[in-house]
Amino acid sequence: MASVSAPPADPTASERYGPLVHRSVHHGAIVLVVATLQFLVAMAVTQLGWTVNYSLLTNYISDLGAVNCGFFPSSSSHYVCSPWHLVFDISIVVMGLLILLAVILIRTAFPARRSRTIGLGLLALAAIGSIGVGLSPEDVNLTVHTISATLAFVGGGLALIVLGFAMFRDTRWDGFRAYTILSGLVTLIAFLLFASSTYLALGVGGMERLIVAPVLLWSLVAGVHLARIPTYAPRAFSKPTET
């Protein structure tokens, strides 16, 4: 005769820290990748619309979102003209909104501990900073723009360091812990150099990109990684067994 085992005492017993993830994590991974890719494409497209030469080494990333054509700051010889600035500004706002959504969806990909809460909270803070950058272009409200950019830079770097520690004792993140922490450290070190006007051979634009690049690359790599992990669905009953 056939018999059915009793449901587990703990309804979340099937939710493991590894090697599987909840289906929502896959959705969050896709959102994370889309958020990053659309921003990278938007930057390239906006750069093509410039009426003067745009340099990755001497131009700030935010020059792409400047609303007006002219010298910025007004007392400098730094000329900015970005006719397609709306592409950049809208894209970075969209990226921030999508990352906020991704933070909610991928939370169960990390063990439920304080480092997860802090790390994802910092990532959400970086996303809010990105939104602020898009809503307040550098030549419209420099104060809000600078604060927002700082939140994005520092929040992103700290988020990766903390999330790296949140990955410990979780087989789903094997091989990613050191990479995640190192990426966060590179971002923070580059930010400190940038803030102290120490650009080395990279120039102001190159050093700013060194701040942003590790976080963007991590978002792509981590998103693809999470999307490849098999999913699970909690089961209340086990399959019938023949006796």
Both structure tokens of 233: 């669905």
Identify whether 242 is part of a domain. Answer: no
pLDDT in tens, 213-228: 999 999 999 999 999 9
Identify whether 45 is part of a domain. Answer: yes
pLDDT in tens, 68-105: 998 888 777 889 999 999 999 999 999 999 999 999 99
Provide the domain limits for residue 128.
20-227
Residue 63, amino acid: D
pLDDT in tens, 170-203: 888 988 999 999 999 999 999 999 999 999 999 9
Above 50 in pLDDT, residue 13?
no
Residue 66: CB partners within 8 Å, gap ≥ 6?
Answer: 72, 80, 81, 82, 85, 137, 138, 139
pLDDT in tens, 19-33: 788 889 999 999 999
pLDDT in tens, 107-145: 999 999 999 999 999 999 999 999 999 999 999 999 999
Identify whether 145 is part of a domain. Answer: yes
Identify whether 2 is part of a domain. Answer: no
Identify whether 4 is part of a domain. Answer: no
DSSP letter (8 states) at residue 22: E
Identify whether 240 is part of a domain. Answer: no
Interatomic CA distance for residues 84 and 66, integer angstroms: 9
Identify whether 237 is part of a domain. Answer: no
pLDDT score, position 216 = 97
Interatomic CA distance for residues 218 and 33, integer angstroms: 10
Q: How many domains, in total, are found in the chain?
A: 1
Identify whether 24 is part of a domain. Answer: yes
